[in-house]
Chain A
């Protein structure tokens, strides 16, 4: 089964058919939720990665900053993934054929794995090397913002 057949099978599924049958105004709600979710996810990431870079909430340790912002990040991720999946399920074949869609999802998976590995490594080590910490923070922020750029481009390419 090729990935294209999978996209077609999803398109014909009852969930997908149902989403297409409901009022389009309702689908727009998912678009709004997607943006609000992205902001709720990205801003804590900015703050956490700024802290890794040695800026921002300097009176707190990386671990404390991560703990304080994790619930917001998680809520943002849940809202973004839920609304994003709903949008995808409405027109799976269209999104699958969009040249920016798969790179975006790929980057998202890389970012999630990298970010979690990073934070766990940083918080476990008592004295992580400053160069490594800064490089990691910068790298992570770049990937997260790259996902945002790729995602926004989906609507235009």
Chain B
């Protein structure tokens, strides 16, 4: 069974069809998909600015990471669950969409970057966490995070306008 056949099965399933054709559920799920981003990418944006030393330099990095972790995680859960549901409703159409493909690519790279950031910060121990300016590799990861999540958002919004 090919990927596109699986996608077609999903899209044509009872749940996929019901969600796609529902008057209220589809827009509500779309809404949660957007609002989840305000917690996830939105808060990551400010953390990245802090890592780059551009914003709130007097607040220790360890504190800002710890205080927003639950919110960011909650935001990602909302974005991923709603995104999964939206994909279920239009799976085959989405797989063939170049905007969606680019969004997936940016998302994959952003997740790898986030994981490598976690590993790097664990390996470095906690000494750097209270410096005003984060070490160079962490600052590069922060830059990459801004560009990659920005790309995910931009291509996500462009998806309905890119049919091929």
- A residues in contact (CB < 8 Å) with B: 28, 31-32, 35-36, 38-40, 42-44, 46-47, 50, 55-60, 68, 72, 145, 148-149, 151-153, 155-157
Contacts and interface: CB of A to CB of B under 8 A. Distances in A.
The majority secondary structure among interface residues of chain B is helix
Contact of A42 (B38, B56, B161): B38
Interface residues of B, number: 32
Contacts of B32: 149
Interface of B: 23, 26-28, 30-32, 34-35, 37-39, 41-43, 45-46, 55-56, 59, 63-64, 67-68, 71, 150, 153-154, 156-158, 161
21 contacts: A31-B161, A32-B154, A35-B34, A36-B150, A36-B153, A36-B154, A38-B34, A39-B153, A43-B38, A44-B46, A56-B67, A59-B59, A60-B59, A145-B35, A149-B27, A149-B28, A149-B35, A152-B27, A153-B28, A157-B23, A157-B27
A47 to B, nearest CB: 7
Nearest to A100: B27
The majority secondary structure among interface residues of chain A is helix
A148 B26 contact: no
Given A35-B34, A152-B34, A153-B31, A42 B158 contact: no
B31 A43 contact: no
A32 B43 contact: no
A57 B41 contact: no
Contact of A152 (B31, B41, B67, B153): B31
